[in-house]
Structure 1
């Protein structure tokens, strides 16, 4: 009944650490840094403790420590050495590894402590760009390769959402200072991948704009209601998996026809599915962005 992964193949370790399976085998044989379990057919399997050790070894190795030297450290000393060498240069990779371990162990305390440590050195905006974005990109690949379960992805996503909500709420106590446009943020019907859109909402408010956040799975017809209340609207949507490639052009055309009825109304789009949009006859009021940074720079 428990589908959460706590035993890993050597391929899983490669995916999680970035160290090639061939190199892991050499490190095991030559330096005895890991002691895998073995199946009856002699296939290597690893527990969470082995994964944690490998992630710490990876950070030390990336920081310039030779594996021959790392292998001589007492096992219990490695985590403290990792903490001692953390610097501005390595804090990003350490934090990503720590967040991965928090995810694998469903360890909320580790997530919070790692985040608080980052916040003492970086702004929330820097944390999102430097750590959360690459982390979520890696997690997407780990999920696709079946290295982690959906439970892991949902756990870490929810904790990041909490931080986004807290930091967004802090900004909302200040009145908007720019009134040349209002941003309406929404996800298409059946689209539930909300993190990117939530961050854009934070970024727009941070830059002094008023936003209306509608969230996930919004029918196109519902957008008409907002037209009654505000002028100079910019609708923003993040297309990760919906609409699918057969429907995305219709989605854009329907919004252009039914929602972008004023000259000052625009539609800004971002996300993987925008690659499927036919841009040859795109209305001038529709803009497609390749990244969150690119969209943020448009303000």
Structure 2
């Protein structure tokens, strides 16, 4: 799955648009809104133009246009109406679909225009919570179902990271207002899903604390150098795929022994893999969180 995906099944269209495959077939048969390709065995497939058209149709449909009316419009008219809606302030509610469209077309301009429209109504923090977090959750599902390729995921993730870095730099230059502890943010060895951790770094800086951001794939032994450098450290890590289910509890024990025992330090953990951590013997200086927002609310 290393090549850019440009041919889609009807199931892919369902995953990307949120419209059931059965409904797509009805729209296609009754209103001729899509033009699928067919295999020798009569199996439908769709190109990127069909996908883009469907996403625009869904946008119009969500805004009250009847599918029978949309079917009478040509492609240029559909595109114009969609762009008009996207340019309106109320289009922030459909930003996730628009960002997905930008991703599928590798369209940086559409990403930037949509992002800038959102900032007319929301703070960056609100954009991240209401749009980027749900978007990344959807992308995880789309990647797992092979609806999108790594190229699509990397493209959109990089653009979001750019916005995170820009906003982080704005607060990073300010002097910390809270000095009771220092936050050290890192990902475990072989963990590369950095976006959530990057946002937490922004949140912590925004709350007036000093942070030391180490990023992805950090061995535990590399953190020992920090152990004696500060009186109180709050280590923060985001466990998306690493350590794996079989190794995660040994990893926690190792962290406790090497970084936390006989110190004032603590460890905050979140991410999908935390569900496999045994909480029966978890020490009082290790805390698990179910979401970025939950952790952010404790700052």
Quote the Cα distance in structure 1 between the aligned partners of 2:96 and 2:146.
19
- Structure 1 vs Structure 2 CA RMSD: 1.6
- Deviation (angstroms), 1:8: 1.0
Contact 2:2 2:149 in 1 (8 A): no
Name the CA distance, whole Å, in 1 between partners of 2:251 and 2:218.
12
Partner of residue 44, structure 1 = 44
Preserved contact between residue 182 and residue 211 of structure 2 (Cα < 8 Å): yes
Q: Which residue of 1 aligns with 2:246?
A: 246
1:208 Cα offset (Å): 0.9
**SS in structure 2 of the partner of residue 185 of structure 1:** strand
Q: What is the DSSP-based 3-state SS (H/G/I as helix, E as strand, rest coil) of the residue aligned with 1:284?
A: coil
Partners of 2:3 and 2:221 in 1: CA distance: 39
Deviation at 1:184, TM superposition (A): 0.5
Deviates more, 1:62-71 or 1:188-197: 62-71
Equivalent residue number for residue 175 of structure 1: 175
Which residue number in structure 1 is paired with residue 82 of structure 2? 82
Number of corresponding residues: 298
Contact 1:92/1:130 (<8 A) preserved: no
Query: Partner residue of 1:91?
Result: 92
Whether the aligned pair in 2 keeps the contact of 1:119 and 1:127 (CA below 8 Å) is: yes
User: Structure 2 matches for 1:136-155, cutoff 5 A?
Assistant: 136-155=136-155
Unaligned runs of 5+ in 1: none
Shift of 1:63: 2.3
Partner of 1:201: 201
Report deviation, 1:46: 1.1
Question: Matches of 2:281 and 2:113 in 1, distance apart?
Answer: 50
Whether the 8 Å CA contact 2:36–2:46 is kept in 1: the answer is yes
Alpha-carbon offset, residue 121 of structure 1: 2.0
**Distance in 2 (alpha carbons) for counterparts of 1:139 and 1:145:** 10
Comparing 286-295 and 50-59, the one that deviates more: 50-59
**Following TM superposition, by how much is the alpha carbon of 1:52 offset from its aligned partner in structure 2, in angstroms?**
0.8
Contact persistence 2:265–2:285 (CA under 8 A): yes
Q: Give the CA deviation at 1:76.
A: 1.0
Residue pairs, 1:94-173, within 5 angstroms: 95-173=95-173
Contact 2:188–2:218 (Cα < 8 Å) also in 1:
yes
Q: Write the deviation string for residues 155-214 of structure 1: whole angstroms up to 9, x where unpaired.
A: 111111111111101111111111122110000011111000000000100111110001
In the TM superposition, what whole-angstrom CA distance separates every residue of 1:95-137 from its partner, at most 9, and x where no partner exists?
A: 2122112211222222222212222221111111111111111
Deviation at 1:85, TM superposition (A): 3.6
Q: CA deviation at 1:89?
A: 4.7
* 3-state DSSP of counterpart to 1:259: helix
Deviates more, 1:198-207 or 1:97-106: 97-106
Q: Which moved more, 1:147-156 or 1:77-86?
A: 77-86
- Correspondence for 2:63: 63
Q: Give, in whole Å, the separation in 2 of the partners of 1:38 and 1:143.
A: 24
